[in-house]
Structure 1
Amino acid sequence: MTTAEVFSYLKPGSRLGAYRVREWKGGGAYGDVYRGVKDGKPVALKLSKHRQHSADPGKTDERLLRELVCLVHVDHPHIAKVQGWARTPQGRGYLVLEYVDGWTLAHWLQNARPTFQQVARLFAKLAHALEHMHGRRVRHRDLSLSNVMVRKVDGEPVLIDLGAGEYSGAQELTDAPLPPGTNRYRSPEAARFFKENQNNPDARYPFPPEDDLYSLAVCLYDALTDAEPARGGWEARKAPRIDVNSPMWAPPSARTANPRVPEALSEWVEKWMARDFEKRLPSLASMREALEALGAQEGAEWLAPVQAPPEAVSAVSEATGDPPAKARRRVLAGAVAAVVLAVGAFALLREAPSREAPFVPAVPESSSGPRAKPPQAHPSPPAPSTSAVPSPSEVPPAVKESPSVPAPTNPSSNPPVAKPPMKSAPAFSRGFLKKCAGAGALAAALLGCPAQQVQPTQERCPAAAAENIRRLGLDDGSQITILVDVKQPIFRSPDECKATGRVWSDEGWCLTLLGDGKLESETEEKIGRLPEGSRLYGRVWTEGATVVGRYTRARKPNGEEIDVCMSLSANGGLDKMPGSKPGAALVRPRDAATSITKQWH
């Protein structure tokens, strides 16, 4: 018998079949997901942790094949699409999937602060996706806030990860009473079955489609009642999660837990989560229709955000466009700055006035984050044949339905108001100025960014630059490998990296340090009519949750320069590495540039 192997992660830049790996996105017990690219188009690559015929108790290869069959059976705009399947030379299987650039549902709920109307509409689409899945005799079996993505570009939800999925007639892979899944989202019947059969090695829970709908109801309950859904049980939370699995009593209604929840929505969620299966069944059957009707409500309570912003933090967050955590830092920094100004004012009263030129304090510029473009409506595509795995060209892109859920946006901050100059400025001693400078620096550090820093707004690509992109043979969203900063070369050893003062990552990269300002990158492969070795010129912003980079000029190796629209990494931002700070972001030295013909986000 072949022994199970120790799995090694794929490094950015490595090859997986016809695809180049860009970054590791996440993984679990059965496999790992990478963002890859082929011909400039991003894909998700799900690679099994173990090869075929290995001594793998988790049966990861078999589960990958089962996920493949499940995905081939379905075709819905809110279910991630499969584009292909293959094996590595070592025998590991991998799926080629539609790449969903966005947030998990948990992060979207926590950071976007959606309204009740938006949440109802989003969950109606997920219920529709489950209806379609069950109509094709496929069950997800592991629905949770982490297995739903919300796309950045249009705010549409997409069901992902059918690794625990099952289709009718499939061979049983589970060697325990319950299939893989998250306990919080299991039905009362599943919990009862496990309690009664946990010591029975032959017992297997017959997972019904209604359990998927129950899981969706728990997800909705969490969306309405949990202010921190993206924080796991091991992370510090302001309040513990409400227990939904108690065998003794049902959880409090959503409206009891969060008085902002509309009564009608709370009542439906309570029906969908009823402890008695017979009482729950009729309401589950009408879940989609009920959610669609609820999402059509227009009253003030439906257009209100699900979670009320914390006092003070809300006002600062809306004024600055910052997320709540950052807003809290600004409140603290504002308090420190106020103390600094008070000390300075007191000192002014004690210093002798001067007749020198007046001093006008600088006013920080306001900032606003990247915005998402409005979604468009399209009809649903016809169901494909399930006789074979579709090729990438046969798989239609994800289709958007209406009404859609807007992606998170950062409110624009109010423009700064210049203060009138003082009639005269006092004369300060060097010691006094030094103290004030130190105190001011402390306040600026707590604010977390230099005064002049701004984030780019959503903009359309100029027509001439968009036409140049098309003349290069590129589409909106084509990707090409780049060296992020030509001034910071790639070092292959930790010693060389650290000798230059840079950081060596656990992934085996000498990280690039980016600050706000100009950026010059270089292409490392040919795409369309843009040669390898072309230089890209633009600007980078590092204050937000991601690094935003925009290129507006390209110079080919022959010296020809053209106007272009390209973004650093995916259109929307490059993930920061641990240790990053505003104005000093750590990123991988090699990533991707994405061509733009429509608009930057």
Structure 2
Amino acid sequence: MDSTTLDDERWQRMRRLFLEISTLDASGREACLAGEDGQVAAAVRRLLTLHDEMTGTGDRAPPPLADALSAVDDRALQGDGATIAQFRVERLLGEGGMGRVYLAQREIGGNLQRVALKIVPLAMRTPRLVEQLKRERAILAGLDHPHIARLIDAGELPDGRPYFAMEYVAGVPLLRYCDENRLDLRARVALFLDVCEAVAYAHRQLVLHRDLKSSNILVDADGRLRLLDFGIAKSLEGAQARDVTSDGFFSLRAASPEQVLGKPTTVSTDVYGLGSLLYGLLAGRPPFRFDQGSRDTVIQRIAHEPPPLASGAA
């Protein structure tokens, strides 16, 4: 057995141990590490220390700790045959403050099914984000519309992190699709009406999206669009109805005045998002320039200044 094979085996053992014991107390962890290879045990203890420091400081970890823990997921998902639950990972599609999304596949009855698989990385596994992902998949489970990416499967990883698989949309963001295909005004408005149908349906199910922007609306090669990423969506029922949008988990480009001011969000939040989206479709630019001034200046403009007329901006 060469050193590369030995290192890979140690890594896999270290990873499995970390996932299995990270939720245990100190005595339980040490009991599981007793008798382990010294290098493996030492590496797992270092990871556990980083994990405990990160989860003990709230929802935002210092970048070095987040980077160190992200490496666990990154290394594990490199190469052929890497899996999450029953899905084989192909590649990373994207990541943000609410989790990572992978292109993955599984075989069902001899047919290959491709999905967009969303999880909370180890570096971001805080109670708040885990609960947010569970909330997102619960919301998606109640939505069934041709212009909303559908939920396919969901479950829990061995370490307790939730995941869910969504319909994979092989498409491009709405504004880019319109520009690349040189769509005229009528075609752009037709697509916008499809977005409105999807949002109106969500509202009838008492769900606010709260992040309506071009990158969350993909259009495939057939010209069919799907609304996705309900990561900061909320239900208008129960305790969620009083939620505000957490600072840092929304895009200024799509944020409404009440979001940037930390006030409760309502249906008007999505109406504002739709208006901003339509502005971009018609004028070719967002209502406000985001490359000028500080974040505080941009927030003040969104909250207190009317944008220039789209006809003038165009």
Do the structures match in fold with TM over 0.5?
A: yes
Distance 1:155 1:175, change over 3 A: closer
Q: Which residue of 2 aligns with 1:223?
A: 281
1:140 lines up with 2:196 in the alignment: no
Q: Which residue of 1 aligns with 2:99?
A: 31
Q: Which residue of 2 aligns with 1:46?
A: 118
Deviation at 1:150, TM superposition (A): 0.8
Q: Which residue of 2 aligns with 1:210?
A: 268
Q: Which residue of 2 aligns with 1:66?
A: 135
1:254 lines up with 2:313 in the alignment: no
Taking the TM superposition and a 5 Å limit, the aligned residue runs for 1:283-298 are none
- Structure 2 residue runs without a partner (length 5+): 1-24, 26-50, 56-65, 292-297
Q: Which residue of 2 aligns with 1:162?
A: 230
Bigger RCO of structures 1 and 2 (CA < 8 A, at least 6 apart): 1
Counterpart amino acid of residue 78 in structure 2: K
Deviation at 1:175, TM superposition (A): 8.4
Q: Which residue of 2 aligns with 1:306?
A: none
Residues matched between the structures, number: 233
1:11 lines up with 2:83 in the alignment: no
Deviation at 1:134, TM superposition (A): 0.6
Alignment partner of 1:102 out of 171, 180, 190: 171
Determine the C-alpha separation between the residues in 2 that align with 1:185 and 1:244: 15
Determine the C-alpha separation between the residues in 2 that align with 1:90 and 1:173: 31
CA RMSD of aligned residues (A): 3.0
Distance 1:216 1:17, change over 3 A: same
Distance 1:176 1:102, change over 3 A: closer
Distance 1:12 1:225, change over 3 A: farther
Q: Give me the TM-score of the superposition, normalised by structure 1.
A: 0.36
1:116 lines up with 2:185 in the alignment: yes
Deviation at 1:177, TM superposition (A): 6.6
Counterpart amino acid of residue 313 in structure 2: A
Counterpart amino acid of residue 217 in structure 1: G
Taking the TM superposition and a 5 Å limit, the aligned residue runs for 1:579-590 are none
Determine the C-alpha separation between the residues in 1 that align with 2:259 and 2:114: 38
Larger-Rg structure: 1
Taking the TM superposition and a 5 Å limit, the aligned residue runs for 1:318-357 are none
Check whether the contact 1:164–1:180 (CA below 8 A) recurs between aligned residues. yes
Determine the C-alpha separation between the residues in 1 that align with 2:95 and 2:87: 19
Determine the C-alpha separation between the residues in 1 that align with 2:134 and 2:307: 38
- Structure 1 residue runs without a partner (length 5+): 195-204, 235-241, 259-601
Q: Which residue of 1 aligns with 2:47?
A: none
Taking the TM superposition and a 5 Å limit, the aligned residue runs for 1:61-460 are 61-152=130-221, 154-167=222-235, 168-171=237-240, 180-191=249-260, 193-194=261-262, 205-226=263-284, 245-247=301-303, 249-258=305-314
Check whether the contact 1:188–1:245 (CA below 8 A) recurs between aligned residues. no
Deviation at 1:170, TM superposition (A): 4.6
Task: Report the 3-state secondary structure (helix = DSSP H, G, I; strand = E; otherwise coil) of the residue aligned with 2:144.
Answer: coil
Check whether the contact 2:155–2:162 (CA below 8 A) recurs between aligned residues. yes
Deviation at 1:146, TM superposition (A): 1.2
Determine the C-alpha separation between the residues in 1 that align with 2:311 and 2:241: 41
Check whether the contact 1:103–1:149 (CA below 8 A) recurs between aligned residues. yes
Deviation at 1:244, TM superposition (A): 10
Deviation at 1:43, TM superposition (A): 0.8
Identical aligned pairs, as a percentage? 30
Deviation at 1:105, TM superposition (A): 1.7
Determine the C-alpha separation between the residues in 1 that align with 2:276 and 2:244: 26
